[in-house]
Amino acid sequence: MAALKYAGLEDTDSEEELPPGWEERTTKDGWVYYANHLEEKTQWEHPKSGKRKRVAGDLPYGWEQETDENGQVYFVDHINKRTTYLDPRLAFTVEDNPVKPTTRQKYDGNSTAMEILQGRDLSGKVVIITGANSGIGFETAKSLALHGACVILACRSPARGNEAVQRILGEWHKAKVEAMTLDLASLQSVQHFAEAFKSKNLPLHILICNAAVFGAPWSLTEDGLESTFQVNHLGHFYLVQLLEDVLRQSSPARVVVVSSESHRFTEIKDSSGKLDFSLLSPSKKEYWAMLAYNRSKLCNILFSNELNRRLSPHGVTSNSVHPGNMIYSSLHRNWWVYTLLFTLARPFTKSM
């Protein structure tokens, strides 16, 4: 009882009644969370019962959900001409009893990043996402941040990175997001990024290697390597090596490498069946943008598989992922032919 008194829980009789200083709120997707105004923190579990809840059904007739300038959800009663931050459906919540599914959860072409993480609390998790200022990287960063994670957007352009941070803060002003400069076309930049991150003394629970170039004309990086190979693969390879110790110390942790099904349409062996490393960073005469992209994606998968073999015994898993065919993003911006192709395919593909 002394512990209950200290926590301020002895003043209420009902298990569902909130202690003084607590408030019940809902997220945009209908999950109930609890705000402790005394300690200025939030949590998914009811402070007394420890239960999780979600609202049931649609809003009553005449009600509409809106979001204020601080990203806070509020409700408009058009019939009685009033607004409130209290969800009128809170009287009809249902208890969320997480049961281990008997079959694997399935998602389809209409699933969103927000739906994948629905109901999950990622508070305390630290995530790095490369190329997070646009496209798949941005949507992933936004969903992780809006579910409580501390997300670092590793971007080549500081201006675009900061703009992406502001867009996420526009959704929720308390989101923990930060942009840091990372140019994968420069191994020195990769090293500086890793050093800057380590200086923050943060753990690292998720590293998402997402940044990529596609259809780029032949060019060499400052390190003397073909740019598609270095940006899509070698830069990420080096980044993981530099952050491996932090990942191990933060276990359980994971690395996610965004690859592509196009890895199937290439080869990195010569006519005798031996690995031909000259194919990875070809000369201008032997360069074809599509093949360079496919080879970099094959390297992604080989790297991810070997990384998982080496680090999974230490609590760090690695997975490669195919994000979807012909997703309309800025990836195709380097050549008008690819832009035309992606534009024609857009009505039949998944959006950002």
Domain 21-95: which topology?
Ubiquitin Ligase Nedd4; Chain: W; (2.20.70)
pLDDT tens profile 323-346: 876 555 555 455 555 565 556 655
The one-letter amino acid code at 334 reads N
| Inter-CA distances, 218 with 48, 96, 178, 213, 280, Å | 62, 54, 32, 12, 13
pLDDT, residue 312, reads 95
Mean pLDDT of 305-319: 96
CB-hemisphere CA count at 13 Å for 255? 31
Q: Which two tokens stand for residue 99?
A: 């049961």
pLDDT tens profile 210-253: 999 988 899 999 999 999 999 999 999 999 999 999 999 999 99
pLDDT, residue 138, reads 95
66 strand-pairing partners: 74
Q: Where are the domains of the chain?
A: 21-95, 113-260+282-345
Mark whether 293 is an active-site residue: yes
Burial 218-230 (b: 16+ CB within 10 A, else e): beebebebbbbbb
Q: Are 346 and 328 in contact (CB under 8 A)?
A: yes
Query: Which ranges constitute the DSSP H helices of the chain?
Result: 2-7, 113-116, 135-146, 158-171, 187-198, 227-229, 235-249, 289-311, 336-345
21-95 and 113-260+282-345: identical CATH topology = no
Length of the chain: 352
Query: What number does CATH give the domain 113-260+282-345?
Result: 3.40.50.720
Q: Which two tokens stand for residue 307?
A: 């990384």
Q: Of 6, 107, 293, 338, which residue is the catalytic one? A: 293
